[in-house]
Amino acid sequence: MLQALRGGAKSPIMKVFLVFLAAGFALWGVGDMTTGLIGGSDKAISAGKQSLSPREVAVKFDLARRNYLPNATMGEALESGLLPELAGVLARDVVFRAEADRLGLAVTRDMQRDAVANEPSFRDELGNFSQSRFLSVLANAGLSETEYLMEVDTALRRAQIVDAVASGAAQPDAVARTMTAYELERRTARLVSVPVNADAIADPDDSVLSAWFADVQSRYDAPALRTARVGIIEPQMFAASIDISDAEVETAYQDRIDEFTTPERRRLRQMVFDDRNAADAAYARLTGGEDFTAVATDTLGWTEGDTQLGLVARGDLEDAIAEAAFAATTGDVTGPVESAFGVHLIAIDEVVAGGQTNLADVSDTIRSALQTEAAIDLIFEKANILEDVLASGATIDEAIKEVGGRLVTLQDIDRRGNNIDGAPYAGDDADLAQDSLVLDTIWSNEIDDLSVIQEGANDMFFVVEVTGETDPRSRDLAEIRTRAIGDWKLVEAIKAAREEATALSADEAAFAASAETTAFRRTGTGLDHEAARLIASAAFGQDIGENRVVETGSEAIAVRTETITPAEESELTETAQLLRNFTTRAIQQDILGTLSADLSRTHDLQIRLGGVQQLLIGTQ
């Protein structure tokens, strides 16, 4: 496998430089992308002398559908908008290939090898190449070696063009260091907290409360409110009453045996050779008693880590390799085995036996799952019956009783599911009052009319009858007196806490009695406090020894900055480089987008997807 890339590379299998489907590009102002082929053209996408035929685009569309929308039919994938999105990605590649032709750009074998070998996507948790990952992703992507190399070639030629334009577009080091130093600076502080205690505040007299209420009365205005009755049927109402026999449980267990079975796994090492003769020679040395790693180092230049495949199941491996590896026993070396990737020698270091959970241990779980499945099927029958009963003229009470559902009343709720005071609706049916679909139905239905039956989340069906509505109105003090007193006392308690904290901020002894915090950043990271971000904002807004008071609603905190610690040079240098790289990539992506749009005009980009659609629809 990958003969053009293997020479000079250390890894046994090269990395995939997968650029088949990235984000969609809305860069192509080229007219209607859904029209048929103009004049019988056999080019779905064309720019300059480069093009893709309708069949080529259709094949790539099917690959994308299977990779990114595996459960969607061809028609559903077309309706999702995948085709124009894919066309944008493919059009970009065609445009850059046309520009590469114009400039006479080429890609050497060394460039291909380096690009693939440096791709990190298929390294394992230890940073080593994982053949099982490589095999799985390449197979799932449905790419042949030729297609794979074409994608690498396209990416490298595009990179040459973009890099030539964007090479000077980078964030200056000084700017990156300044920004990083600002963000990585750490500070410590001392905190003096005064709790907000509304209970310690005496009730206001009538004149004080009335004067305060006159200033804030609009806060207590009542919104428009509705009262509605909601009839509900949902699977859990019926699941427990559904009888599931032991025979059904056992049948389901057998049908789902894979769910209760752990496959056998094996810890393997391997060598991969380009030809059979080299593999035979290495195998002879192994059967003669030489060490596996020593032979791999001598013949391939591999380290011990290069040979490791790790602990894998049969399904993780290509068929021929799996057949050989799982037929051998611990300590064996099997092979040579030929695959699409070369000729393999495989060492079996460990066998981890698979297992199967007994039926008795999972019977309750299976029975509950079958009851739930049956209840979901039943709920659709119940919904049809409910619809028929309501259509016959029955009341909501009669219909819900007929199907064994539940009827609840949501009293005086606003459009957001809150009560008259703006607090979330409370009670046993609070979750129903927060369901956006239920709320929309309540507020879109006419008073005293029954809504149509709606399907909600988790296979719930419901019907709504709005029984009353009140208009928005002002409320006088008498109506909300208890609430107003509580709010006034809280305001006064916050004010008192702030005044006390302000007084304490001038008392050196108060700060001396408090412990110094751990070092924290501007975001509050490193500070163990629910108001960490607020405290950090105060501490970073003043010099050492200065203080200010912040409020959280439950306490007032005097914050005094104690120390300022600049970022360590090693951390500053590393993070500044990361920031510079990130910003530079963002700039280059902007350049790529602008350049793509410009080249699409230069090379007369044409996109005609009608023929592609005809091919795809014909495969359904």
pLDDT, tens digit, 9 for 90 and up, residues 482-513: 999 999 999 999 999 999 999 999 999 999 99
Residues 613 and 547 in one domain: no
The 8-class DSSP code of residue 30 comes to: -
Residues 141 and 164 in one domain: yes
C-alpha–C-alpha distance, residues 90 and 341, integer Å: 28
Helix (H) or strand (E) holding 255: helix 246-255
Q: Are 552 and 534 in contact (CB under 8 A)?
A: yes
Phi-psi region of 359 (alpha: psi -120 to 50; beta: other; left: phi over 0): alpha
Question: For 517-533, b where at least 16 C-beta lie within 10 A, e where not — what string?
Answer: bebbbbebeebebebbe
User: In one letter, which amino acid is 51?
Assistant: S
Q: Of 353, 379, 396, at which residue does a domain stop?
A: 353
CA atoms within 13 A on the CB side of 231: 24
Residue ranges, the chain, pLDDT below 70: 1-41, 116-118, 120, 122-146, 167-168, 618-620
Tokens (6 digits) for 259: 């769910």
Report pLDDT for 263: 87
Torsion angle of C-alpha atoms 226, 230, 234, 236, degrees rounded to 10: 90
Q: Is residue 412 part of a domain?
A: yes
Tokens (6 digits) for 73: 């039919």
Residues 157 and 199 in one domain: no
Helix (H) or strand (E) holding 431: helix 430-433
Q: Is residue 180 part of a domain?
A: no
Residues 234 and 372 in one domain: yes
Tokens (6 digits) for 424: 């979330």
Return the closest-CA partner of residue 486 out of 209, 207, 214, 206.
209
Return the closest-CA partner of residue 196 out of 494, 504, 563.
494
Torsion angle of C-alpha atoms 375, 376, 378, 382, degrees rounded to 10: 120
Which residue matches tokens 């002002």? 474
C-alpha–C-alpha distance, residues 560 and 514, integer Å: 11
User: In one letter, which amino acid is 106?
Assistant: A
Residues 45 and 127 in one domain: yes
Residues 446 and 525 in one domain: no
The helices-and-strands tally (H runs, E runs) of the chain is 23, 16
Q: Of 321, 353, 385, at which residue does a domain stop?
A: 353
Residues 25 and 123 in one domain: yes
CB atoms within 10 A of CB 326: 19
- pTM higher than the cut 0.75: no
540 CB contacts (<8 Å, ≥6 apart)? 185, 187, 522, 561
Residues 142 and 193 in one domain: no
Residues 106 and 58 in one domain: yes
Q: Are 271 and 282 in contact (CB under 8 A)?
A: yes
Return the closest-CA partner of residue 535 out of 64, 109, 190, 95.
190
Report pLDDT for 584: 83
Q: Is residue 341 part of a domain?
A: yes
Domain count, the chain: 4
Report pLDDT for 18: 30
CATH of the domain at 328: 3.10.50.40
Q: Is residue 256 part of a domain?
A: no
Per 3-state DSSP, the chain is made up of helix, strand and coil in percentages (nearest 5) of: 50, 20, 30
338 CB contacts (<8 Å, ≥6 apart)? 276, 320, 344
What residues make up the domain containing 559?
A: 186-218+480-565
C-alpha–C-alpha distance, residues 314 and 391, integer Å: 57
Question: For 79-111, b where at least 16 C-beta lie within 10 A, e where not — what string?
Answer: eeebbbbbbbbbbbbbbbbbbbeeeebebeeeb
Q: Are 120 and 105 in contact (CB under 8 A)?
A: no
Q: How far is CA 279 from CA 273, 289, 337, in A?
A: 6, 16, 9
Q: Of 353, 376, 411, at which residue does a domain stop?
A: 353
Q: Are strands 355-356 and 406-413 parallel, antiparallel or unpaired?
A: unpaired
C-alpha–C-alpha distance, residues 379 and 64, integer Å: 36
Report pLDDT for 33: 37
The 8-class DSSP code of residue 566 comes to: P
Between the two ends of the chain, the Cα-to-Cα distance in Å is 34
Q: Is residue 177 part of a domain?
A: no
Residues 325 and 465 in one domain: no
Residues 507 and 534 in one domain: yes
Helical segments of 289-358, H only: 292-300, 304-307, 319-325
CATH of the domain at 158: 1.10.4030
Q: Is residue 561 part of a domain?
A: yes
pLDDT, tens digit, 9 for 90 and up, residues 119-146: 767 666 666 656 666 656 666 666 666 6
Report pLDDT for 400: 96
Q: Crossing angle, helix 610-618 and helix 54-68, to 10 degrees?
A: 60
Q: Is residue 101 part of a domain?
A: yes
Report residue 80 CA to chain centroid gap: 19
Q: Is residue 360 part of a domain?
A: no
Report pLDDT for 266: 93
Residues 296 and 326 in one domain: yes
Burial class of residue 444 in the structure, from the number of CB atoms within 10 Å of its CB (0-12 exposed, 13-18 middle, 19+ buried): exposed
